[in-house]
Amino acid sequence: MTDPSYLTTPQGRRIAYHLTDGEGPCVVFLGGLKSDMEGTKAVHLEDWARANGRAYLRLDYSGHGQSSGTFEEGCIGDWHQDTLAVVDALTEGPVVPVGSSMGGWQSLLLARARPARLAGLVTIAAAPDFTEDGWWASFTDAQKAQLESAGRVELPSDYMEPYVVTKRMVEDGRAHLVLRDDLDLPCSVRMLQGTADTAVSVATATQLLEHANSPDMQLLLVKDADHRFSDGPCLGLIEQAVEDVIETFKAGDF
C-alpha cells in the first residue's frame, strides 16, 4: 500500500487521496459510510484505470481511513464538502463519479452541485437520504428521545461495529436530501443493486430510478448479490458500467 497524498479543504480538514494520471474523463470513486479508499472496489477500479490508461481518483472523507477527524464528528454535508474540494482541486474537465452506498448519495450531491462536470454516473447500492428514510424513520420513540437528550445513539451493523449516529448527522442529512425535489442527472447513469442486500433495499433503487431525471438511466439488479458487491462477477459489472457511460459520453449522445 503506497502512502496517500493529502489536500486541505477550505474548512481545514486534511483529506487523503490517490490520484492516477490518465485519459479523461476522470473516474472518481466515492466510498460508503465508514469505509475507506483501500476497499476492494476502490482498489480494483484503480487497477482497471491503470490498465486502461484512465484518470482515476479515490479518497477518504474526513473521519474515514487516513483523513483527519473522527467519524462521530462528521455528517453528510461535511463529506460533500470534502468531495467537492478534492474534485475541484485535483481534476479538470468531465468526471465520472462511482458512488457506493453512502457514496451513491455523495455522487448525487456532486451531480447536483457540478452538473456541467458530469460525463456519466455509476452507483452501487446507492443509499440516498438514508439518515432520514433509514435511520430516523426506523428509530423508536426511545431512540429519538435519546438522540435529543444525549445527542447520539448506537445502531447495529451487519458489516462492522455499531454505527454511532449523532443528532448532527440526522439534522444535517435533512439539509441534503435528494429524493424530495427534482433531481436532474444530465448524463448516462448506471445503477447496480444486489437483491440480497440487507443494508439498501431494491425498493430504494427503484425509487431513485423513478425519481431522477436522466436521458439514459438504467438499473441492473443482480440476483443474490449482497451490499458489498465486490466478488469477481460484481467487480466486472462495475467495470462494464463505467465503460458504458464513458463510451456514451465520447459518442456525444448526451
pLDDT in tens, 5-64: 999 999 999 999 999 999 999 999 999 999 999 999 999 999 999 999 999 999 999 999
Tens-digit pLDDT profile for residues 68-80:
999 999 999 999 9
Rounded Cα distance, 121 and 245, in Å: 7
DSSP code at position 75: -
Strand order in the sheet with 121-124: 5-8, 14-20, 54-59, 23-30, 95-100, 121-124, 188-194, 216-222
Domain definitions of the chain by residue range: 5-133+178-250
Least confident of 73-82, 155-164, 186-195, 241-250: 155-164
Q: Burial-class residue 197 by CB neighbours within 10 Å (0-12, 13-18, 19+).
A: buried
Fold annotation for 5-133+178-250 = Rossmann fold (3.40.50)
| Four-CA torsion 174, 176, 181, 183, nearest 10 degrees | -150
Beta-bridge partners for 121? 189
The DSSP element (H or E) to which 28 belongs, if any, is: strand 23-30
User: How confident is the model at residue 2, as a pLDDT?
Assistant: 86
CA gap 164, 253 in Å, rounded:
44
pLDDT tens digits, residue range 198-219?
A: 999 999 999 999 999 999 999 9
Q: How confident is the model at residue 156 (pLDDT cuts 50, 70, 90)?
A: confident
Q: What pLDDT does residue 160 have?
A: 63
pLDDT at residue 155 above 90?
Answer: no
| % of the chain surpassing 90 pLDDT | 93
Separation between Cα atoms, residue 101 and residue 169, nearest integer Å: 16
pLDDT (0 to 100) of residue 116: 96
Locate all alpha helices (DSSP H) within the chain, ordered by sequence. 40-51, 76-90, 102-113, 130, 137-138, 141-150, 167-174, 202-211, 232-250
DSSP structure string for 161-206: SPEEEEHHHHHHHHTT-SSSS--B--SEEEEEEETT-SSS-HHHHH
Which three three-digit cell numbers place residue 168? 448532527
pTM of the model: 0.95
Q: What is the mean pLDDT of residues 162-185?
A: 94
The pLDDT score that the predictor gives to residue 252 is 83
CA-to-CA distance for 154 and 244, rounded, in angstroms? 40
What is the average pLDDT value for the chain, to the nearest integer?
95
What are the pLDDT digits (tens) for 113-152? Answer: 999 999 999 999 999 999 999 999 999 999 999 999 999 9
pLDDT band at 253 (very low <50, low <70, confident <90, very high): low
User: CA gyration radius for the chain?
Assistant: 17
pLDDT (0 to 100) of residue 163: 80
